[in-house]
Amino acid sequence: MASPLSIEAYKRKQNVLAAKSQKRRVSTSSNQASSRSKESYTSNQRRYLNACVEKQADPEPNLLKALRDARFVLKLDRFGQEELLFNMGFLQSTKSCTHISLSLGSMTKNRDLRIKFDRLGLKRAYAYGKEGASIVVRSVCASVSKTPNLVRFHLLGVNISPEVVPVLPKALFHCHQLEDISLNGTNLRDEGLAAIAIALGKCPELHVISLVGCGLTDKAKEHIAKIIALHGVIKDEAIWSSSLRGDVAPTPLMPDLLINLSRNSLGDETAEVICDALCSDKWLLGLNLGGNNLSEQGTGTFINTLAKTNHTLAVLALPNMKNPGTSKVMDNINV
């Protein structure tokens, strides 16, 4: 018996719908009949299923379900080259999703998956390789640049090589509604952050930036500070423009930006530069630097800044530092 989401089942349903449509056209009560037999799939779902029929590909049940709510959510761990190319091709044609999330490395490779990869001549998913990862990054950026209503963008575990870094800022500059971005585990590195720092800082609605395990070092310190500073400028300019228009004064805005930089290799130099930025900032709400290289000196820099010059940072997380002795200093922090 065919699966409800199989290609054959979808073809049969399309044939049934076509027959019903023909019947409605000759019916005297066409409006009522049309309402009763309305297609249950959304336009995004129908586009995806039609693409599956055309390419003779099996629909991904979780993606099909997500598309109902204008979300493109896909785990790449089970895909060989052909499947990855098909799904990334469809992603590039997507323009109306508010949430795009691609992840790699979140699934355990079971026996069936090992057999499948052996048959394809692969040791693991195609997206782990340089070419596969490049296809993913370029495809998602092509979609992001054409999706003006994008609110959430997550690219997790897919390696971002230096060759594809330039496409990231070009895509992000189009994201005027973006609220949440996560590039966790992408090996973005310092050069990658340098490329996207201005684009991130100028996203007016951005509330969450997560760069966990991205291979960042102290060379990224100025770019981190730039994001904080630009976000503050955008917020201040919005308030200033509102006052010039004579708008009624809104409820005082609160800090709203959360930045997660945990599990990198950031040290005391980064702490010092971030604290310099915090001296004039009032929009950063939370900062996670856990699992980095801060020593007692870097931790002390934060303590001094929060005690004297910055009173808006509500959450500062510095757990599991790689340098011994830092945890003892943490007892003195009262944010």
CB neighbour burial string for 126-145, b if at least 16 within 10 angstroms, e if fewer:
bbbeeebbbbbbbbbbbbbb
CB 155 within 8 A of CB 214: no
The mean pLDDT value for 163-176 works out to: 96
The mean pLDDT value for 25-41 works out to: 52
The mean pLDDT value for 208-236 works out to: 97
- Kindly indicate the confidence band of residue 17, based on its pLDDT and cuts at 50, 70 and 90: confident
More confident residue, 249 or 150: 150
- In the chain, what are the domain boundaries? 179-322
Q: Give the pLDDT confidence score for residue 283 in this predicted structure.
A: 95
Domain 179-322 belongs to what architecture? Alpha-Beta Horseshoe (3.80)
Cα–Cα distance for residue pair 11/223, rounded to 1 Å? 52
- Kindly indicate the confidence band of residue 184, based on its pLDDT and cuts at 50, 70 and 90: very high
Q: Give the pLDDT confidence score for residue 32 in this predicted structure.
A: 45
pLDDT tens for residues 252-290?
A: 578 999 999 999 999 999 999 999 999 999 999 999 999
Q: Give the pLDDT confidence score for residue 50 in this predicted structure.
A: 95
Mean pLDDT lowest for which of 34-48, 240-254, 262-276? 240-254
Kindly list the distances between the CA atom of residue 277 and the CA atoms of 19, 221, 227, 292, 311, in Å, as whole numbers in the listed order.
Answer: 66, 11, 10, 19, 13
CB 132 within 8 A of CB 84: yes
Mean pLDDT lowest for which of 98-112, 127-141, 147-161, 167-181? 98-112
Cα–Cα distance for residue pair 269/297, rounded to 1 Å? 10
Q: Give the pLDDT confidence score for residue 9 in this predicted structure.
A: 74
End-to-end CA distance of the chain: 61
